[in-house]
Amino acid sequence: MVEIKQIDQGAKGYFVATDAENEAGRMSYTYAGNSKIIIDHTEVNNAYRGQNIGKRILMEVVNYARENKIKIIPLCPFAKSVFDKMEEIRDVL
């Protein structure tokens, strides 16, 4: 069972997906002022590819942005591609 949690490190941080002791993937971000975060990198462990790990992490980031009334700037090509495909999450752009 994959769990996703946020690790906030001040000006930046990441959301990490873990499966027991294994890291399945992570999406890192940097704050841009108080009202925006920039998603700069997404990484999924090869063993977890094809399981929508990256998309699941992005959905957690979207929920975080909605709850905190902040916007997302998807510089990461993966995150940008998901936003391009999913109109229903573009409210946080």
Q: What is the CATH number of the domain that holds 32?
A: 3.40.630.30
pLDDT of residue 18: 98
Global confidence as pTM: 0.96
Amino acid at 2: V
How many CB atoms neighbour CB 34 within 10 A? 7
Beta strand segments in the chain, E: 2-9, 12-19, 22-32, 36-44, 71-74
Beta bridge partners of residue 36, listed in sequence order: 32, 71
Domain that includes residue 65, residue range: 2-92
pLDDT band per the 50, 70, 90 thresholds, residue 61: very high
Q: What is the pLDDT of residues 20-49, one digit of tens each?
A: 989 999 999 999 999 999 999 999 999 999
Nearest residue to 41 (alpha-carbon basis) of 58, 20, 21 = 58
Count: domains in the chain: 1
- d(Cα 52, Cα 5) in Å, to the nearest integer? 16
Strands 12-19 and 36-44: unpaired
CB 5 within 8 Å of CB 23: no
